[in-house]
Amino acid sequence: MTSRSKYLLVFDFDETIVNENSDDSVVQVAPEEELPDWLRETFQEGFYNQYMQRVFKYFGDKGVKIADIKAVYEKIPLSPGMPTLFRFLIKNQDRFEIVLISDANVFGIESNLKGYGYHSLFRRVISNPTALDKNGYLTIGPYHTHNCPQCPANMCKRKIVTEYLAERAQEGVRFEGLLYVGDGANDFCPSVIFTSTDVTFPRKSYPMHKLIRKMEEKQKGTFKAKVVPWESADVIAQYLQALLNKS
């Protein structure tokens, strides 16, 4: 088996790998486990990244320690069937190149994956960068800029997937097919460029799944990739096993 016959498997994080939105989960470290109205009211659609920067600053001002934030991320529960899927992938690592693309943040995602022992599965975690400032506060920045009108200002997953494929092609890596596991509208954006040899795994009845169905209702055959909806990630593990048996 050469390294060139792998599938590229892309995962989203929030409400895909984990069963919650990690930005919402982390609020429990705030005093009284909720954010004040004045802070919540600063949220603007499409500018979640800037909002989370303010949330982390508020945590720091209130004396919340980085260890408290990490402890919350580590305990966010995995989605149904996700441990089964990850155990399958550990056994078949030679057949998949696995990356994670998320609009959450690197610190939270890595804390969670390391906590559960799955961090080494991922070749790359692509998310909004985090750092500690001079006060020891957690800070978050935008991942990049782009021109996609559908996506939040700080991240377009279609641009990320396209750039990743170009980078790997330059390194001589060709993939047998693309596989994408997600739930949100920003996961729909990259999947529209997939071809009939690719597979999308939208979480059933979540925005990604609804957008795929809407596109298909409007004009049948416009969404090219195979669609395998899931409520439990066991379904994904079974599908991937069958895929390997065929190839």
Position 2 scores a pLDDT of 43
Q: Where are the domains of the chain?
A: 3-19+78-127+144-246
What φ, ψ does residue 207 adopt, rounded to 5°?
-50, -40
Q: Is 183 annotated as a binding residue?
A: yes
The chain-wide mean pLDDT, for the chain, equals: 95
Position 47 confidence tier, pLDDT thresholds 50, 70, 90: confident
CB 156 within 8 A of CB 146: yes
103 assigned binding-site residue: yes
Is 198 part of any known ligand binding site? no
- pLDDT tens digits for range 114-130: 999 999 999 999 999 99
68 a known binding residue? no
pLDDT at 247: 75
Q: Rounded CA gap, 151 and 179, in Å?
A: 21
Q: Cα–Cα distance between 31 and 232 in angstroms, integer?
A: 34
Compute the average pLDDT of residues 227-236: 98
Instruction: List the beta bridge partners of residue 96.
Output: 7
| Domain 3-19+78-127+144-246 CATH (choose: 3.40.50.720, 3.40.50.300, 3.50.50.60, 3.40.50.1000) | 3.40.50.1000
Q: Kindly state the average pLDDT of the residues 208-228.
A: 93
For residue range 75-133, list pLDDT tens digits in order.
999 999 999 999 999 999 999 999 999 999 999 999 999 999 999 999 999 999 999 99
pLDDT band at 1 (very low <50, low <70, confident <90, very high): very low
Q: Evaluate if residue 50 carries a pLDDT over 80.
A: yes
The tokens describing 105, both together, are 């943040």
CA distances from 177 to 6, 104, 109, 168, 173 (A): 8, 26, 25, 13, 12
Q: Which residues are catalytic?
A: 12, 14
